[in-house]
Chains A and B, each alone.
Chain A
């Protein structure tokens, strides 16, 4: 999987369990996932329960969740879409990062000063 860590032991196909193909393809990398408060059910795999635990501590995008769980993004989308189907998660369309035509009106670009502060912060961190 990752370099220097040796060969992967736990393959990604364990994450969604043996269930069939997901029902939606609408989730994107920047879709925000929000917990509905419904607990995990017994048929949910450990990976799904971990995702739910993660989101219960605060809303996260699909990409961020994938990063925290160290899963490929596609796998995380699959997990999230099942949880959305089961009513454990809500998915909110991202404000940016989608084609301009369907971008939510009013979602302006961040001000230049904020971007500069972020850049400076990143440079100091390096």
Chain B
């Protein structure tokens, strides 16, 4: 009994102790649990806070600077500042949001720009057509005008109209239109003269032609585009140099068949930044947005770039002129150069007069020239090394590229054959045979 009692007590106490222990354990684990819960909550809150901050950074900093960056690459785009978030799904979401934003902005900008270009193009083409009508009318009036004063007035209006045509044509080309005119094959000096006429202050431009012949022309499809490009480069040269300085234009023919229009001004030149921007636009490889061209838009280089891309001539402005300004060169490749007979299609009276070609050195023919030894001098004719052929001799022998008159050609040939016959007759046959061996 006692034993049972004791056992019961012992068991009870043991149970109680176990329960107490268990209770203590439970309480401890509950404390731990609540502490870890608190920790989890705290860290979740912290993470949420970091995410909010990253989101705020995206909205307040990254997206605006992305918008600025799309306008100009000079603006940097900051990335995610919180390094702890990098690599997470959330960071990837933010990045894709930024990309989406950039894409939407770009697309919208292209769309708006295309609409602006279309509107400008439509307006330009109509104005251009009307200006050409006005040009025709003024030209007809000038043909019949007898009075000097009236003629001067027509000239003034005509010049104003030409300047207007130039501005409108340039804008039309930048907005994706064609130059608006197709010309027949045209003499190069005429193209340059026409280009000067479209500018205010054309009196300051002096054109020197160093072309060797009167036949150098540009194929029809490239005539007006080259005139437009030349006009824009001349306009830049006039604008960037003082009003009392002249602009020198030189027409050159290179040995590889290309023709160059070289424009030298004595202006202030271009900065490196301007030059690289010009080179980018003149290459004509990418579509330019109107919004990239400044306000008011500077259309000249963009128009040239468009024409260069369409027609395949080259324009460079990266050299300094001898007068420390800019030297612009239009290079017209042989494919766009053609030959025009000045008799059937004469040059305009206003185009520059070609400078006399420099005299090519010529071998002097002296009396003791061994080639002139006659057969009766007792010396056998000997073969001699001929002097180097002077290039351009043929051209000079036939000035202006005219073939000789038929009668003259016949007489020359007659004399030549008679000379040969006389020489053969005078030479004994054995000597002739000896000469041959």
A interface residues (Cβ-Cβ under 8 A, vs B): 1, 5-15, 17-18, 21-22, 25, 45-47, 49-51, 69-75, 77-78, 81
Q: Residue B243 at the A interface, CB < 8 A?
A: no
Contacts of B213 in A (CB 8 A): none
**Across the interface, do A15 and B152 meet the contact criterion of CB distance under 8 Å?**
no
What does the 1/0 interface line of B2-22 toward A look like (CB < 8 Å)? 000000000000000000000
What does the 1/0 interface line of B180-206 toward A look like (CB < 8 Å)? 011110100011011011000011000
- Choose among B132, B142, B346 the residue that contacts A70 (Cβ–Cβ < 8 A): B346
Contacts of A72 in B (CB 8 A): 142-145
- Choose among A13, A17, A70 the residue that contacts B348 (Cβ–Cβ < 8 A): A70
- Choose among B142, B147, B156 the residue that contacts A75 (Cβ–Cβ < 8 A): B142
Q: Given contacts A5-B184, A46-B350, A47-B349, is CB(A11)–CB(B197) below 8 Å?
A: yes
What is the bound-complex CA distance between A47 and B182, given in angstroms? 26
Contacts of A47 in B (CB 8 A): 349-350
Q: Residue B227 at the A interface, CB < 8 A?
A: yes
**Across the interface, do A9 and B191 meet the contact criterion of CB distance under 8 Å?**
yes
**Across the interface, do A18 and B202 meet the contact criterion of CB distance under 8 Å?**
yes
What is the bound-complex CA distance between A14 and B190, given in angstroms? 11
Q: Residue B146 at the A interface, CB < 8 A?
A: yes
Which residues of B in the span 333-363 have a Cβ within 8 Å of any Cβ on A?
Answer: 346, 348-353
**Across the interface, do B135 and A74 meet the contact criterion of CB distance under 8 Å?**
no
Which residues of B in the span 128-180 have a Cβ within 8 Å of any Cβ on A?
Answer: 132, 135-136, 139, 142-149, 151-152, 155-156, 158-159, 162
Contacts of A70 in B (CB 8 A): 346, 348-349
**Across the interface, do A10 and B146 meet the contact criterion of CB distance under 8 Å?**
no
Minimum C-beta distance from B23 to chain A (A):
109
Q: Given contacts A69-B349, A78-B148, is CB(A12)–CB(B142) below 8 Å?
A: yes
**Across the interface, do A12 and B155 meet the contact criterion of CB distance under 8 Å?**
yes
What is the bound-complex CA distance between A17 and B149, given in angstroms? 15
Interface size class of B (residues with CB under 8 A): 35 or more
Chain A contact residues: helix, strand, loop or mixed: loop
- Choose among A6, A10, A13, A74 the residue that contacts B351 (Cβ–Cβ < 8 A): A10
Q: Given contacts A11-B158, A46-B352, is CB(A6)–CB(B182) below 8 Å?
A: yes
**Across the interface, do A13 and B148 meet the contact criterion of CB distance under 8 Å?**
no
Minimum C-beta distance from B234 to chain A (A):
13
What is the bound-complex CA distance between A6 and B145, given in angstroms? 22
What is the bound-complex CA distance between A126 and B204, given in angstroms? 47
Contacts of B227 in A (CB 8 A): 9
**Across the interface, do B184 and A7 meet the contact criterion of CB distance under 8 Å?**
no
Minimum C-beta distance from A17 to chain B (A):
6
Identify the closest chain A residue to B206 (Cβ). Answer: A42
Identify the closest chain A residue to B198 (Cβ). Answer: A11
Contacts of B352 in A (CB 8 A): 46
**Across the interface, do A1 and B184 meet the contact criterion of CB distance under 8 Å?**
no
Identify the closest chain B residue to A79 (Cβ). Answer: B349
Contacts of A75 in B (CB 8 A): 142, 151
Which has the most chain B C-beta neighbours within 10 Å: A8, A9, A14, A49?
Answer: A9
**Across the interface, do B350 and A45 meet the contact criterion of CB distance under 8 Å?**
yes
Contacts of A13 in B (CB 8 A): 155-156, 158-159, 197
Minimum C-beta distance from B198 to chain A (A):
9
Q: Given contacts A10-B197, A11-B159, A11-B162, is CB(A74)–CB(B142) below 8 Å?
A: yes
Minimum C-beta distance from A86 to chain B (A):
17
Q: Given contacts A46-B351, A47-B350, is CB(A8)–CB(B139) below 8 Å?
A: yes
Assuming A6-B183, A50-B349, A78-B151, what are 7 further A-B pairs, CB within 8 angstroms? Answer: A5-B184, A7-B136, A9-B348, A12-B350, A70-B348, A71-B349, A77-B148
Contacts of B184 in A (CB 8 A): 5-6
Contacts of B348 in A (CB 8 A): 9-10, 70
Which has the most chain B C-beta neighbours within 10 Å: A12, A51, A77?
Answer: A12
Minimum C-beta distance from B151 to chain A (A):
5
**Across the interface, do B135 and A7 meet the contact criterion of CB distance under 8 Å?**
yes
What does the 1/0 interface line of B24-43 toward A look like (CB < 8 Å)? 00000000000000000000
